[in-house]
Amino acid sequence: MEKIRTMIVDDEPLARRGIRAQLKEEKDIEIISECRNGSEAVAAIEKQSPDLVFLDVQMPELDGFGVLDAVGVERMPAVIFVTAYDRYALRAFEVHALDYLLKPFDDERFGKAVQRARRQIERKSIDDLSSRLRGLLDDLQSTRKYVERLVVKSAGRIFFLSVAEIDWIEAADNYVRLHAGRESHLLRETMSSLEKKLDPAQFVRVHRSRIVNIRKIKELRPLFRGEYDITLRDGTRLESGRGYRDRLQKLLSEPS
Q: Domain check: are 13 and 125 in the same one?
A: yes
Cβ(136)–Cβ(90) below 8 Å: no
pLDDT for 126: 64
Q: Domain check: are 134 and 210 in the same one?
A: no
Q: What is the CATH number of the domain that holds 83?
A: 3.40.50.2300
Q: Domain check: are 241 and 187 in the same one?
A: yes
pTM: 0.70
- Half-sphere exposure of residue 94, counting CA atoms within 13 Å on the CB side? 7
> How big is the CA angle at 158 (ends 152 and 162), to the nearest 5 degrees?
45
Dist CA 11 CA 36 (whole Å): 4
Cβ(152)–Cβ(161) below 8 Å: yes
Dist CA 98 CA 20 (whole Å): 21
Q: How many domains does the chain have?
A: 2
Question: What DSSP state is assigned to residue 103?
Answer: S
Q: Which domain holds residue 30?
A: 4-141
Dist CA 153 CA 168 (whole Å): 18
Q: Domain check: are 18 and 137 in the same one?
A: yes
Element (H, E) at 248: helix 245-253
pLDDT for 254: 64
pLDDT for 253: 67
Residue after which a domain boundary falls, among 96, 124, 141: 141
pLDDT truncated to tens, each residue of the chain (256 aa)? 689 999 999 999 999 999 999 999 888 999 999 999 998 999 999 999 999 999 999 888 788 988 998 888 888 999 999 988 777 678 888 888 888 898 888 889 999 999 988 888 887 766 688 888 888 888 777 666 788 888 888 777 788 889 999 999 999 988 999 999 999 999 988 898 899 889 988 999 999 999 999 999 999 888 877 788 999 999 999 999 888 888 777 776 665 5
- What three-state secondary structure class fits 183? strand
Dist CA 245 CA 236 (whole Å): 20
pLDDT for 19: 95
Residue after which a domain boundary falls, among 141, 160, 183: 141
Q: Give one word for 53, left, alpha or beta, with left for phi > 0 and alpha for psi -120 to 50.
A: beta
Q: Domain check: are 125 and 27 in the same one?
A: yes
- What three-state secondary structure class fits 200? coil
Q: Domain check: are 168 and 222 in the same one?
A: yes
Dist CA 163 CA 174 (whole Å): 20
pLDDT for 206: 92
Beta-sheet strand order (sheet of 228-232): 217-222, 228-232, 237-239
Q: Tell me the C-alpha to C-alpha distance, in Å, between residue 212 and each of 4, 164, 173, 220.
A: 45, 11, 18, 12
Residue after which a domain boundary falls, among 110, 141, 172: 141
Cβ(50)–Cβ(6) below 8 Å: yes
Dist CA 39 CA 168 (whole Å): 25
